[in-house]
Amino acid sequence: MFHLDLKTRTVVQAIEAQDGVDPGTRFVQIEVVSVTNPKRYALLFQLSYQPRNGEKIYLGSFSLYPADNPGKFIVATQSKLKNEGSLALTMVLSDKPEPQAAVKVSIKKMTFRRQ
Residue 115 belongs to a domain: no
**Any domain includes 86:** yes
The domain that holds 17 is classified in CATH as 2.60.290
d(CA 84, CA 87): 10
Domain assignment present for residue 27? The answer is yes
* pLDDT tens digit sequence for 9-44: 999 999 988 887 887 789 999 999 999 999 999 999
Helices (H) and strands (E) in the chain, counts: 0, 9
Q: Which residues partner with 45 through β-bridges?
A: 62, 91
Number of domains in the chain: 1
Q: What is the pLDDT of residues 42-54, one digit of tens each?
A: 999 999 999 988 8
Domain, as residue range, for 56:
2-110
Q: Domain for residue 75, yes or no?
A: yes
Percent of the chain residues topping a pLDDT of 90: 70
3-state secondary structure 25-81: CCEEEEEEEEEECCCCCCEEEEEEEECCCCCCEEEEEEECCCCCCCEEEEEECCCCC
* Inside any domain, residue 9: yes
Q: How confident is the model at residue 97 (pLDDT cuts 50, 70, 90)?
A: confident
Task: Kindly report the pTM of this predicted structure.
Answer: 0.91
